[in-house]
Amino acid sequence: MTNERASEPKRRSAFSAIRSIDYTVIFVRDMVAMRRFYEDVLALSLLRELSPNWIEYGLGSNTLALARPSRTAADAPTPVGSASLQLAFKVSPAEVDACAGELVQQGIELLSPPTNQPFGHRTLFFRDPDGNLLEIYAEI
C-alpha cells in the first residue's frame, strides 16, 4: 500500500505568512487590580484605553491588552487559583535583581528569587493579581 499524500506536492499554508505576535490579551477578573499592577508595579506605558473593559500597553513592537472576557468572547473567567498564562519579560542580567528588589518593596511575593538556570537564563517568577505567572529573565 502506497502513501498517496506523500506523492502530492506540499501546499503552502496561508498561515505561513505569520511572522510575529502583534498583541497578547489577558482576560482579567479584577480590572482595577490588574490595571494598578501593570501600570504602577510593572510600570508599563499605557498605549490606549478603548473602553473600561479594554486597556492596552506598549511593549516594544508588541501590545499587551487587559480585557474582560465578555469583550471578545463569552468565556468564563479562569477559576481563582489557576493561572491562565505565563508571560516572560526580557531584561538585562542586572535588571533581574533590580526588578526583584522593587517587587519585594511593593509587597509582591516572589515565587522564585533571581536564579541562574542551567539553560543560560537568570530568572525571577511572581504572579499578577489574577494569578497569572510572570517571569523576568535575562540571557546570561
pLDDT at 47: 96
Under 8 Å between Cβ of 67 and 54? yes
Beta-carbon contacts of 131 under 8 Å, excluding residues fewer than 6 positions away, are: 78, 80, 81, 82, 83, 84
pLDDT tens-digit readout, 7-17: 667 788 888 88
Share of the chain above pLDDT 70, in %: 91
| pLDDT reported for residue 72 | 61
Would the CATH topology of 22-70 be identical to that of 83-140? Answer: yes
- CB atoms inside a 10 Å sphere around CB 106: 11
All structural domains of the chain with their residue ranges:
22-70, 83-140
How much is the pLDDT for 19? Answer: 84
Q: Does domain 83-140 have CATH number 3.40.50.2300?
A: no
CATH of 22-70, one of 3.30.1130.10, 3.10.180.10, 3.30.70.270, 3.40.50.1950: 3.10.180.10
SS3 for the chain is CCCHHHHCCCCCCHHHHCCCCCEEEEECCCHHHHHHHHHHHCCCEEEEEEECCEEEEEECCEEEEEECHHHCCCCCCCCCCCCCCEEEEECCHHHHHHHHHHHHHCCCCEEEEEEECCCCEEEEEEECCCCCEEEEEEEC
Cβ 132 vs Cβ 83: under 8 Å:
yes
Please name every residue paired with 48 in a beta bridge, in sequence order, or none if there are none.
56
Query: pTM for the full model?
Result: 0.81
For 50-72, the pLDDT digits (tens) are 999 999 999 988 999 999 877 56
pLDDT < 70 regions, the chain = 1-8, 71-73, 77
